[in-house]
C-alpha cells in the first residue's frame, strides 16, 4: 500500500535523515540505501521493516551528514593512491591531464582516505533505530489513511453490485413471462405438427427451463456480497480473502449473464462486471 514516512535528527556533530516510501505490491520487496559506515546494520534494519511493514514495494534510505570538522581525521591510503594514479596515467596522457589535475582526480576516488573517526563511532545505534521506528510509524499512519479510503471505495463498489442484483431480481419475473410466452408459441406449433414427438419436446422444455433459471446464482451472489461486506469490516487485514470473495462474485455474475437471455439483465450484468473490476483493482491496495 502507498505510504511515506520521514524522520530526522540533528546536533552539533551530524544530521541524520531516514526516509521510507512504499508502493502497492502483492509481496514485500525491500530496497535499502545505507551509508557504508552503517551497512553492517542492514539485516537488523530489514528485520524491523519486515515485521512492521508487512507488504509492499519499500524503498528505505538513510543519509548521514557530518558537520565541518567532525570525522575529518583522515589518513591517505598511499597504496591505493599510487594504484589509482598509475591506472589513470596509463590511459590519459600528460597533454590531456596535467599532474595537478591527475592528483585531484585520484583524491576523488572511493576509499582513498581512511577515517579514524567515522559515522559508526558517532551514530548511536539506539537513537538510529528510534528514528527508523518513527519513520515507519509515520509511513503506517499514511497507509492507514489510504486504507480507510480503499475500504470506503470497496464498500461502495460492492453496494453498487448489490443494487444491480436487486434490479435483476425485479426483472427476472418479466423474463420468465417472456420465456413462457415463447414456450406457449412452441406448444401451439407442436400441436399443429404431426411429426413432433411430445415426449422429446417435454424433455427439451425441462432442460431449457433449468438452463435459464438464475435463482441459485442470485442467492449465491447475495451471500458473496454480504460476506464481502463482513470481511471488509473486520479489524485485521483481509486483502487475500477479499480477493478470493471477489473471484467467487465474478463467477456468479458471469453465470447470470450467460443464462439471462434478456437484454435488460445483460446491461445490468455489464454494470456489475465494471464494479467488480474496480474491486479487483482496489483489493491490490489492501494488505
**What's the DSSP call for residue 214?**
-
Of 271 and 66, the structure prediction assigns the larger pLDDT to 271
Burial classification of residue 189, based on how many CB atoms lie within 10 Å of its CB (0-12 exposed, 13-18 middle, 19 or more buried) = exposed
How far is CA 102 from its chain centroid? Answer: 50
Residues 64 and 131 in one domain: yes
Distance (Å, rounded) from C-alpha 36 to C-alpha 13? 18
Residues 44 and 163 in one domain: no
Residues 41 and 154 in one domain: no
Number of domains comprising the chain: 3
Residues 107 and 236 in one domain: no
Residues 169 and 255 in one domain: yes
Of 163 and 96, the structure prediction assigns the larger pLDDT to 163
- Shortest CA distance to 268 belongs to which of 276, 277, 257? 257
Residues 83 and 150 in one domain: no
pLDDT in tens, 180-202: 777 767 667 666 666 656 666 66
Distance (Å, rounded) from C-alpha 218 to C-alpha 164? 11
Residues 156 and 276 in one domain: yes
pTM of the model: 0.61
pLDDT in tens, 239-281: 889 999 999 999 999 999 988 888 899 999 999 999 999 999 8
* pLDDT at res. 185: 74
* pLDDT at res. 2: 80
Range of the domain at 193: 144-283
- Considering the domain boundaries, does residue 119 fall inside one? no
Q: How many residues does the chain have?
A: 287
Average pLDDT over residues 133-150: 89
* pLDDT at res. 193: 64
Residues 100 and 151 in one domain: no
- Looking at residue 44, which CATH number applies to its domain? 3.30.230
Residues 53 and 179 in one domain: no
Residues 155 and 277 in one domain: yes
> What is residue 97's three-state secondary structure?
coil
* pLDDT at res. 137: 94
Mean pLDDT rounded to a whole number for the chain? 84
Amino acid at each position: 500500500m502507498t505510504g511515506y514516512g520521514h524522520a530526522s535528527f540533528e546536533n552539533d556533530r551530524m544530521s541524520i535523515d531516514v526516509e521510507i516510501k512504499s508502493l502497492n505490491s502483492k509481496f514485500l520487496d525491500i530496497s535499502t540505501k545505507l551509508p557504508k559506515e552503517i551497512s553492517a546494520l542492514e539485516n537488523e534494519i530489514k528485520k524491523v521493516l519486515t515485521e512492521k511493514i508487512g507488504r509492499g514495494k519499500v524503498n528505505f534510505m538513510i543519509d548521514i551528514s557530518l558537520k565541518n570538522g567532525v570525522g575529518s581525521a583522515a589518513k591517505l591510503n598511499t597504496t591505493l593512491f599510487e594504484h589509482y594514479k598509475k591506472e589513470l596515467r596509463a590511459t590519459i596522457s600528460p597533454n590531456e591531464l596535467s599532474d595537478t589535475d591527475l592528483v585531484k582526480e585520484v583524491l576523488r576516488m572511493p576509499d582513498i582516505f581512511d577515517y579514524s573517526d567515522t559515522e559508526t563511532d558517532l551514530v548511536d545505534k539506539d537513537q538510529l533505530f528510534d528514528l527508523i521506528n518513527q519513520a515507519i510509524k509515520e509511513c503506517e499512519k499514511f497507509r492507514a489513511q489510504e486504507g480507510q479510503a480503499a475500504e470506503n471505495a470497496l464498500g461502495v463498489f460492492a453496494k453498487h453490485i448489490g443494487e444491480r442484483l436487486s434490479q435483476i431480481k425485479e426483472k427476472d419475473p418479466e423474463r420468465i413471462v417472456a420465456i413462457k410466452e415463447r414456450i406457449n408459441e412452441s406448444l401451439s406449433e407442436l400441436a399443429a405438427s404431426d411429426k413432433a414427438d411430445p415426449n422429446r419436446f417435454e424433455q427439451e422444455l425441462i432442460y431449457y427451463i433449468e438452463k435459464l433459471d438464475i435463482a441459485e446464482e442470485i442467492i449465491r451472489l447475495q451471500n458473496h456480497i454480504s460476506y464481502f461486506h463482513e470481511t471488509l469490516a473486520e479489524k485485521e487485514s483481509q486483502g487475500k480473502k477479499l480477493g478470493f470473495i471477489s473471484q467467487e462474485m465474478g463467477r456468479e455474475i458471469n453465470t447470470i449473464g450467460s443464462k439471462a437471455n434478456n437484454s435488460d439483465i445483460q446491461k445490468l450484468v455489464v454494470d456489475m462486471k465494471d464494479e467488480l473490476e474496480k474491486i479487483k483493482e482496489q483489493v491490490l491496495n489492501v494488505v
